[in-house]
Amino acid sequence: PANNTLLSASIVAPTAEAADAYATYCMVIGLEASQQFIASRPDLEGCLIFSNPDGSMSEWRSEGFNLLQQ
């Protein structure tokens, strides 16, 4: 298992297979690299849940992810 602060990665992609593969990839590369990866891909949106140094959890969403929920 990867040792990083990323707890969950939810990805929206053109296909379910791609979304699953990219979510797994994000879990391996960690939070900051995942944010950059998702932001660099216009065909992807994502929501990342991660742990903070104090043990609390936070959420990062790509710009288009919120639009998908409306």
Each residue's pLDDT tens digit, 7-28: 999 999 999 999 999 999 999 9
Return the pLDDT at 69: 64
Give how many domains the chain has, as a whole number: 1
State pTM to two decimals: 0.90
Q: Is residue 52 part of a domain?
A: yes
Strand order in the sheet with 57-61: 6-12, 45-51, 57-61
3-state SS class at 9: strand
Residue with token string 């992609």: 13
Count how many residues are written for the chain: 70
Say which amino acid occupies 42: P
Domain of residue 16, residue span? 6-68
Q: Is the pLDDT of residue 66 over 90?
A: no
H or E element: which one contains 19? helix 16-29
Return the pLDDT at 68: 75
Q: Is residue 1 part of a domain?
A: no
